[in-house]
Amino acid sequence: MSDFERTYQVAANVPTTGDASAEKTTQGGNPMTEAFRSAQPSADALERGAQFAKNLSQGTLSQTTGNPTTGGVTGGAQGSFGSAGSSGNVEQGPTTSEFTGGRQFSSGGLGDSESGGNAGEGQGGAPTGGTGWQTEQNPANRAGLRLGKGLDIGTVNLAAAVQNEKGGITIKLERNAFIDINSDVYSKRMLTKLKVPYVIHNGKMIVLGDAAFELSNIFGRETRRPMKDGLISPNETDALPMVKLIIEKVLGPIQAPGEPCFFSVPAPSIDKDNNIIYHQGLFEGILRKLGYTPKAMNEGHAVVFAELAEQNFTGIGISCGGGMFNICVSYKTIPALSFSISRGGDWIDSNVATVLGITAARATYLKERGVDITNPTCREDEAIVIYYRNLINYTLQNIKAKFEVASDMPEFREPVDIVCSGGTSMIKGFEKVFWQELQNIKFPIKVAKVRRAAEPLTSVAKGCLIAAAISEQN
């Protein structure tokens, strides 16, 4: 077993409360407990892992959006997303996936990431553009390319990361949402004219991902969400077949049988009972059926892998998602403390919608249109600021409380960074408000700075990819 695999296996079994995770270090240099010390990677493995993460992250992520003019979104195509159509009663379409919209990012050069060629004919015509993934007969033989993919399964977005031929990262992002439309001639013509892809499921047309979010605002309807509060939704009957379609779309073709896929899961919540085991098992099953070897990774821990390589993977990673906030306090890759709180961007949207008398989808739009939470200019902005400050303070107070009750937490001799990722952290002024709220409490850890991930929407997927690639390398 490699250093990395041993580290991750032991770390995965460290109690989230910090019990027996580490003995406090003091100025006298008392040794850590055997459990925590044995979980640490060797200095060489830590250096190699950090260097790999740095190399993989070189280059600025650039976005290539799927749209009708660039050939990203297909023309009104009815398809099955490849083999995913066998899930539930989704109607089979052409063998090549037509649903090629969404947002794609790449670091270290895009290469030919959009040169997939024709996607094949669908009901709405002959769409163009590929799925965004480059495919070969034997991609595993590409020089210098490590197997492994990272998958962030978020309440609001799904993101997949893979190493590209330039040595950087290509990430594909899609809204984790869908909307159903009556399957009549008029609706089909409308979707074809708008160049919106869809599938047929139980006699209805289903629009998935980014296109579903856009249509919901046009029609004044709420999107249907496969996930709620960070977990698979128990109330959404079509959750599993829909999320499987989106997952297969963003992951693209498997590079080799049994390819490792590290996917994100939330940590247990401290303020709500949630069934993480069931949620994790569902997605492990989906990924196995797609041919991958799945490995679950806590969201906050993935942020640490993506953003704290320069600090030897030591610090605090917070994934600020739609359904919950996931927190991980890490020491040299080891998650000394991991937990989640059951509030996130959806909690903000729901409360803003209630006080303003609007839909949650409208509240989301208002939040994402460019609000500066350090300088609200209208009633809507004020409501958003109030709930943002409350959520940030609630998060910090819970980290503080967990540290105070944990018995054997490591003491960091040097100030650490707090890195925030996720869509909820993208609002303007987030870091400044976070720092202000931090100064209002007696925080148990010395903090050097609060910063936002370079690419908040894709940080967790990137961290999962780094973990998968290092594991495969070892």
* pLDDT given for residue 374 in this prediction: 95
Give the containing element (helix H, strand E) for 302. helix 299-307
Domain-embedded: residue 257: yes
- What pLDDT is attached to residue 55? 63
pLDDT of residue 344: 92
Task: Give the mean model confidence (pLDDT) for residues 324-342.
Answer: 91
Instruction: Name the average pLDDT for the chain.
Output: 73
State residue 42's pLDDT score: 56
Angle at 463 between CA 366 and CA 116, to 5 degrees: 80
Two tokens, residue 302: 């993935």
Residue at 446 is within a domain: no
| For residue 140, pLDDT beyond 50 | no
pLDDT digits (tens, 9 = 90+) for 21-41: 333 333 333 333 344 444 455
Tell me if 384 is assigned to some domain: no
Contact yes or no for 14/336 (Cβ under 8 A): yes
Residue tagged 């270290």 (tokens): 108
**Unique residue bearing structure tokens 């594991």:** 471
Q: Is residue 94 part of a domain?
A: yes
Domain limits at 294?
A: 3-135+144-337+455-473
- How confident is the model over 215-223, as a mean pLDDT? 76
Coil vs helix vs strand at 5: helix
For 236-248, what is the mean pLDDT? 84
Closest CA to 344 of 301, 387, 397, 400: 387
Q: What single-letter DSSP state applies at residue 159?
A: E
Q: In 244-370, which ranges are E strands?
A: 260-265, 293-298, 315-320, 325-331, 334-341
Task: Report if residue 437 sits inside a domain.
Answer: no
| 398 inside domain | no
pLDDT at 473: 65
**Is 373 within a domain?**
no
Q: Residue 139: what pLDDT?
A: 40
Q: What is the pLDDT of residues 46-88, one digit of tens each?
A: 566 666 666 665 543 433 333 322 222 333 333 333 333 333 3
pLDDT: is 236 or 422 the higher one? 422
Amino acid letter for position 459: S
Number of domains into which the chain is organized: 1
Let me know if residue 435 belongs to a domain: no
The predicted model gives 177-203 an average pLDDT of 79
Residue 50 has a CB neighbour count (10 Å cut-off) of 21
Residue 387 amino acid letter: Y
Q: Which residues pair with 330 in a beta bridge?
A: 315, 335
Q: What is the pLDDT of residues 144-153, one digit of tens each?
A: 567 899 999 9
Residue 446 DSSP code: -
Q: Tell me the sheet residues that pair with 201.
A: 90, 204
Q: Running DSSP on this structure, what letter comes out for residue 372?
A: B
| pLDDT tier at 413, thresholds 50, 70, 90 | confident
Spatial separation of the C-alpha atoms in residues 213 and 99, rounded to whole Å = 15
Lowest-pLDDT range, 2-11, 144-153, 303-312, 453-462?
2-11
Contact between 317 and 421 under an 8 Å Cβ cutoff? The reply is yes
- CB-hemisphere CA count at 13 Å for 129? 23
Ranges 4-13, 159-168, 263-272, 295-304: which has the least confidence: 4-13
| DSSP for 174-230, written as a single string | EES-EEEEE-SHHHHHHHHHTT--BEEETTEEEEETHHHHHHHHHHT-PPB-SEETT
Residue 46's CATH number: 3.30.420.40
Is residue 97 very low, low, confident or very high in pLDDT (cuts 50, 70, 90)? very low
Q: Which H/E stretch holds residue 54?
A: helix 43-56
The answer to whether 200 and 237 have CB atoms below 8 angstroms apart is: no
